Amino acid sequence: MHYYSTNRLSPEVDLRTAVTKGLAPDRGLYMPETITPMDLVFFAQLGNITFQEMAYRVASNLFGEDIPAGKLKEIVYETLSFDTPLVPVEPDIYALELFHGPTLAFKDVGARFMARMLAHFLSEEKQTVHVLVATSGDTGSAVANGFLGIDGIQVHVLYPKGKVSEIQEKQFVTLGQNITALEVDGSFDDCQALVKSAFMDGELQQKMVLTSANSINVARFLPQAFYYFNAVAQLKKNYKKIVFSVPSGNFGNLTAGLIAKKMGLPVSRFIAANNSNDVVYNYLKTGVFKTKSSVATIANAMDVGDPSNFVRIMDLYEQDHAWISSVIKGTTYSDEQIRESLADCFATTGYLTDPHGAVAYRALKEKLQPDEVGIFLETAHPAKFTETVEEIVGKGNVPMPERLSEFLKGEKKTVALGVEFEGFKKYLLSISA
């Protein structure tokens, strides 16, 4: 399989190069040259095989030409040491719980897969590999814990100061070892811009081996297709049209769902559920994609004003607004509306969402048609936002998993940075010496 840049100004590359480089030389994002539908036998067996076996077959379709079958199976099975259960919330509305991994967030799937694939490809490298990752919350913890202790890899997590929850922050600022947390006095978009600039800097490229663990990396976003297949498998004999409502920030999660659809998964449509950061929502309405500064909300992982992965969606659908808007519908909600939805879901169904899941749940409540069944992605455990959620549903209603309690006991260790690239470059050069 070859991978091309969405900007179409760089040569095609193999999987190893796409994974180890992260970003194409022309600043485009890598995409697989072909997306092959799964065969009819696979879909006939979908409800009768394990999640791991299902994911391995999907991974073989996506990556099988470029990595030995035994190694790929090992990577998939190690990645998916947990389930992604489909939980009924009310008639024809289900929550796909993606928070049963080590850091209790959906990004455990992509981050763990990428860590293992990158370690495989870089096992013969003599230099230290530096993984750069920008985070608005859960990406940092998932990537940091996925790469923790892997020899020859140093991880640098850039996050916006004061704009992630305490628990999210503690999951990557307390680890030490090969993980360094960089506290940036700016927004997530600033952090993402610093990472992209580092990949384009000639001096850094000469002196260091750099790669990214954000969803711009194909090994991070493509494995997220696994749990879309798992969700449909768990529906079993529900023959209504399937709608996925996806809390959307940088749009890697939704893009993976669209890849699954291209592979033949019977999905009728998607809802891009946004908070007040409405760049894509506005595009779907107007056909004009215009980035803007992000706005801080209680659903902070979605606080993105320049969503990187939207170029992949544009590429998948040949820049055709009518085609894109026929597959994806958009919603946008204020903090007040998110609070209302979280409270309403808990009060009427007993199901507790996190703020991001509440956005996607509300979208289904408003947009689901009688001939459809809706699945909203519950992307993080509510306890990762305990203070916010307790303000809405009351103290004592948010169970605290032991794993999160242990993170809270750790000591915070960070490096302070501004938003100027020269400061970040100086930091990287200092550790490359």
Q: Looking at the domain assignment, is residue 391 inside a domain?
A: yes
Over residues 235-244, mean pLDDT: 86
Please tell me the predicted confidence (pLDDT) of residue 405.
Answer: 86
C-alpha separations of 287 from 254, 269, 277, 291 in Å: 18, 18, 17, 13
CA distance 388 to 240: 35
DSSP state of 182: E
Q: What percent of the chain has pLDDT over 90?
A: 74
Q: Which of 90, 34, 28 is nearest to 216 (CA)?
A: 28
Q: What is the CATH number of the domain that holds 305?
A: 3.40.50.1100
CA distance 36 to 60: 11
Q: Looking at the domain assignment, is residue 242 inside a domain?
A: yes
Q: What percent of the chain has pLDDT over 70?
A: 99
Q: Looking at the domain assignment, is residue 49 inside a domain?
A: no
Name the pLDDT band for 409 (thresholds 50, 70, 90).
confident
Please tell me the predicted confidence (pLDDT) of residue 53.
Answer: 97
- Residue 23 · residue 196 · CB < 8 Å: yes
Per-residue pLDDT tens over the stretch 77-128: 999 999 999 999 999 999 999 999 988 999 899 989 998 998 888 876 777 8
Q: Looking at the domain assignment, is residue 26 inside a domain?
A: no
- Residue 301 · residue 380 · CB < 8 Å: yes
Q: Looking at the domain assignment, is residue 136 inside a domain?
A: no
Per-residue pLDDT tens over the stretch 114-125: 989 988 888 767
For helices 107-121 and 138-147, angle between their N-to-C axes, nearest 10 degrees: 40
Select the highest-mean-pLDDT range: 61-75, 207-221, 234-248: 61-75
Q: What is the dihedral of CA 303, 306, 308, 310, to 10 degrees?
A: 100
Q: Looking at the domain assignment, is residue 91 inside a domain?
A: yes
Q: Looking at the domain assignment, is residue 141 inside a domain?
A: no
CA distance 121 to 113: 12
Please tell me the predicted confidence (pLDDT) of residue 433.
Answer: 60
What three-state secondary structure class fits 372? strand
Give the strand pairing for 30-32 and 3-5.
antiparallel
CA distance 293 to 382: 27
Print the domain residue range for 99: 83-104+221-399
Token output for 47: 């409800």
Per DSSP, helices labelled H in 236-305 are: 252-262, 279-286
Tell whether the model's pLDDT for residue 393 goes beyond 90.
Answer: yes
Tell whether the model's pLDDT for residue 212 goes beyond 70.
Answer: yes
Phi, psi at 247, each rounded to 5°:
-60, 125
- Residue 182 · residue 159 · CB < 8 Å: yes
pTM: 0.88
Over residues 137-163, mean pLDDT: 87
How many domains would you assign to the chain? 1
Please tell me the predicted confidence (pLDDT) of residue 146.
Answer: 84
Per-residue pLDDT tens over the stretch 292-346: 998 989 998 899 999 989 999 999 999 999 999 999 999 999 999 999 999 999 9
Token output for 429: 């050069």
CA atoms within 13 A on the CB side of 256: 30
Token output for 203: 């001096």
CA distance 177 to 284: 44
Residue matched to tokens 């242990």: 406
Contacts 24+ apart (CB under 8 A), 98-101: 98/227, 98/377, 98/378, 98/379, 98/380, 99/354, 99/378, 99/379, 99/380, 99/381, 99/384, 101/142
Per-residue pLDDT tens over the stretch 347-392: 999 999 999 999 999 999 999 999 999 999 999 999 989 999 999 9
Per-residue pLDDT tens over the stretch 256-288: 999 999 999 999 999 999 999 999 999 999 999
Tell whether the model's pLDDT for residue 25 goes beyond 70.
Answer: yes
CA 196 to mean position of chain CA atoms: 17
CA distance 294 to 279: 9
Amino acid at 389: V
DSSP notation for 110-144: HHHHHHHHHHHHTTT-SSPEEEEEE-SSHHHHHHH
What three-state secondary structure class fits 209? strand
Q: What is the mean pLDDT of the chain?
A: 93
Tell whether the model's pLDDT for residue 255 goes beyond 80.
Answer: yes
